[in-house]
Structure 1
Amino acid sequence: MLFTVFANCVGVLLFLFIFWNKQREDYPSAEIFSTAFFVLAGIGLGAFLAFKFFPGWWFWTETLGALLGLGLGILRHKFRFFESFEALVIGLFPWLSLLYLTDSISSSSIFSFVAFVVVVALMGLYHFLDKHYKGFSWYRSGRVGFSGLTIAGLLFLLRAAVASFVPFVISFVLSYEAILSGIAAFVLFLLTFNLARQTA
């Protein structure tokens, strides 16, 4: 229990730092942290709803809460969506990896440990893409957001694939997981495609 609380505290701090660091050159720090706290409030609301009304749906309720919080911050402070979404994604990935790691330790779950490794690998892929995406000839827009959309899409694509065979991984919603994650992956890759076609 204490280990989980500690991991969540570290995850929150990492999220706040990364979310701020990714956007600090474009927006005032006060507005960035305001949006970050909207996101955290949304995650908290999602966690409460999952605990009270939707047991087992915490990943999806918290994801929805985070997106609602981000949307509120974007509307209030006039942030650019794709930049802020990318900051949200790479900011939340370390927190998600810690949740998988703590579960793998507390419940001796090999599946949670594999999920932890996958999320860490996706973070590594993000940093590679973030350095090189402007050099991709087919990504003609060169706009920020490609890396975040790509790793988020890959995460949900992997969730959909794994859920088809191993539906009892933590954060999975049994028979619904493959469908929900598949839809999320499709939407994210569609956004990536549309972003690539936009002019710089």
Structure 2
Amino acid sequence: MVGKKIEIPDAAKFRERGLQHAIKLDRLFRGDSDEDHHMIEYKIDDVPTDNFNVNFTLASDAIQERGKKRVSSTLHDKKCKKVGGAAQLSQQLSRLIDAVEKKSTVPSKMIDKPGRSIDEVMDVVHMMPEMVAQPELLLIAAEVLLKREHREMFMALRDTNLRIEWLKRMSNLHK
């Protein structure tokens, strides 16, 4: 049984379909919209390969027996580059890794400004004498100041009475 090949009928769907989500991932990470791709039916062999100059073909054992090579061509009309499935997969993985690395850096908008974290703002709230006298205000502040933009506005208001009125107003808006 060493030299004999076994045909598995259920595996045929994987040879015919290829990578199901490759096009969706490509659109997601490259930013292409559906408008760019209307009227085009994609198969895995039709995935665009920009700036990829590899002439590499990959043939499965079953395809080699029939004397055919499985290759894909680009959708661009420039040069017709032939790229095999392994090379395509490698290129797509590289693009996926690049996209994840770019998106993993935290933008400056996502980081609290100094003095605007929940702990720092709540320390200011606890130091206000009005909060000690009215514990329900402390609970209102705890709810309202969960959002970054609310903490920034609270700290931007310098007057204590104005801060308290703003907290009450924000609490009423969210009821």
Superposition TM-score tier, normalisation by shorter sequence: under 0.3
Greater C-alpha Rg: 2
The alignment's TM-score, normalised by the length of structure 2, stands at 0.27
Q: Which has the higher contact order (CA 8 A, sep 6+)?
A: 1
